[in-house]
Homo-oligomer: A and B are copies of this chain.
Amino acid sequence: MNFFVLFFSFFIAFLAAADEGMWTFNHFPSEQVKAKYKFDVTKEWLDHARLSSARLADGCSGSFVSSQGLVMTNHHCAHSCIEQLSKSGKDYVADGFFATNLKDELKCPELEINKLVEILDVTQRIRTKTVNLKGKEFNTQLKAVMSEIEKDCSGTSETIRCDVVTLYHGGQYHLYKYQRYQDVRMVFAPELSIAFFGGDPDNFNFPRYALDTTFLRIYEQGKPLQTSDYFKWSMEGAIENELTFVTGHPGRTSRLLTISELEFVRDVRLVHELIYRSELRGMLTQFQQRGKEQKRYSTSELFYTENGIKAMKGQLLALQDQSFFASKINDEKQLRQKINAHPKWKKEYGSAWDDMASAYKDLRNIYEAYRYMERDRYRSTLFTIAKNLVRAAGELPKPNEQRYREFAESGLPQFKQNLLSSAPIYDDLEIENLTFGLTKMRETLGPDHAYPKKLLGNKSPREMAEYLIKGTKLKDVSVRQKLFDGGQKAINESKDPLIQLALLLDPDTRAVRTKYEDDIEGRVKQASEKIAQAMFAVYGSKRYPDATFTLRMSYGQVKGYEQKGEFIKPFTNIAGAFNRHTGSEPFTLPKTWLNAKSKLDLNTKFNFVSTNDIIGGNSGSPVINQKSEIVGLIFDGNIQSLGGDFGFDARVNRAVSVDSSVIVETLNKIYGAGRIVNELGK
């Protein structure tokens, strides 16, 4: 699978006419599209697409598909909610869910949806405050002014969300203003066996047969949201070679990173994560053997774990490809030569790469401590809740701009929604996860490190996990509410073992965070800013920024590709799914499908590929045609797209979507969900 040999150097790709790029809406290359596809992307066209796009704040994309607040996304984006709404005897993940009537739609405990209403450039406002500052002071001031700008934007409203977004790793700062929706209800989800047909073996592969589709509905004051911003629906679906657009929220790319950053990703982060998650995968797979119930409530965790492993394996393979990496090294060398050849540039930006390398060298020394003490919540929902309650008590009394960024006003409603979520928590899974997390923490830091000694005392990770989970009362939402409302006093007086432990550890976890933010993060951000400016200076601004989980538009074409000398056609159909059905997991079609086979048009298009440039976070994005009609629903990339984190190869990199026609066909003929079909695009 040495497919990364084919990678272009990314600067060359930038300048080429490939359908590359995750473009911001205020910087879309309309001329480029017009030149290649003879289609005029107007401001009105873009505005409509932007207002019809949805962001699932937890990490996915979606689209408005009716005037009644109906939102389409992937099953795997709503998997947690579907699992949370299930209970013993009602397994909506396995059996699917359909609200026959409006009143049967069920509220998701932790979903927040955002709609982007405005983008403002705030680069100057930020630069004015941070100019001449260095390292720690730069970083502290940068965060403070970001929180300040956000607060100025949202005021005290809980339905407006304002985020300052760092584009080009600091080359620009833009303010994104969203409408925030927190009453999101489940309308329809198919069975997991068809939503994720082929399971992990087929994941990131094509040809493919997955109905990875879910419909949600946004409510306002208890009623379906009334909106004029939504996409029309194409009953016909996608057409080979047609121009397609994807509007969504790619999570993160690393195409503009320096070599020292990429080396860190390759040698430290990816290897570390792959080892960690692989062990977790083994644990969860075996945990599922305990029984049907355990399988039911650990399925989404296992899915996200496996999905991450497969994606990261692809990323690692890309970075290990020697010719690809050599091209990255060469790109950087050329850029630095150009900067150094220009006295003013050299003075301003020349040292940035060495500064970055030095910061990353230091990061390697504290990465593990930072990750395990501050970033990782030991995989336990309850432990996370305890830590968040303790932190909230410490942070919220401070002025907005002095708080940790996750406690700034802008994010508080989402924070509270998660903290006070009614989603069920299962003791046995909590204990296994916490045992796992504590074991890995001690293993990584070493048994003689002060932190695991303080945390565990004389207990083993398992003994400690059992003591904490069996002893805590935090499963009760009202207990959490009281502790949240009661502030520092309530926290200090709590006898809850998890709260007491989180309080005990708080000085240590704050200390390692301070060390990270003051010693490393500021230097990285400052070097990033300089390198971004150096790139603007040399290459101009006709480029797109790395992905930041903010709204982007990519354009492309429905198009097959070559793989191992074979041409992969762009479409599959329903007949192909029946051919691939073996009757054994994960190649099992649901009974509803087997029963309905004779009614189905087996030639209906099922999944398709297009050249749109996407990445994780784009899941749930609509694929639209020139008429702004939905022709598909992004749910994956092919295996060759996994290196897309670092570069884009237009020849083989493909986005994978559910065709709009199979959604209608199956809603009608399998799920009796005509009420949704009737609403689509209306």
Contacts and interface: CB of A to CB of B under 8 A. Distances in A.
A99 to B, nearest CB: 32
A646 to B, nearest CB: 16
Interface in A449-473: 458-460, 463
A201 B458 contact: no
A655 B272 CA distance: 27
Contacts of A275: 274-275, 278, 309, 313
Contacts of A232: none
A581 to B, nearest CB: 9
A443 interface: yes
Contacts of A322: 263
Copies in the complex: 2
Contacts of A289: 432
Nearest to A586: B460
A601 interface: no
Interface stretch (A158-166, A181-189, A280-288): A280-288
Contacts of A281: 279, 282
A447 interface: yes
Interface in A342-376: 364-365
A320 interface: yes
A446 interface: yes
Contact of A2 (B287, B365, B446): B365
Contacts of A587: 447
A582 B458 contact: yes
A240 to B, nearest CB: 23
Given A198-B447, A201-B443, A583-B458, A282 B278 contact: yes
A523 B46 CA distance: 59
Contacts of A282: 278-286, 436
A202 interface: yes
Contacts of A202: 447
A393 B566 CA distance: 40
A267 interface: yes
A368 to B, nearest CB: 8
A572 to B, nearest CB: 13
A463 B585 CA distance: 9
Contacts of A286: 282-284, 286-287, 432
Interface in A251-283: 263, 267, 271, 274-276, 278-283
A584 interface: yes
9 contacts: A201-B446, A267-B320, A275-B275, A276-B278, A282-B286, A283-B283, A283-B286, A286-B287, A463-B584
Interface of A: 2, 198, 200-202, 205, 263, 267, 271, 274-276, 278-287, 289, 309, 313, 316, 320, 322, 364-365, 432, 436, 442-443, 446-447, 458-460, 463, 582-587
Q: Which 8 A-B pairs have the closest CB atoms?
A: A282-B282, A286-B286, A282-B283, A460-B584, A279-B282, A201-B447, A278-B278, A458-B582
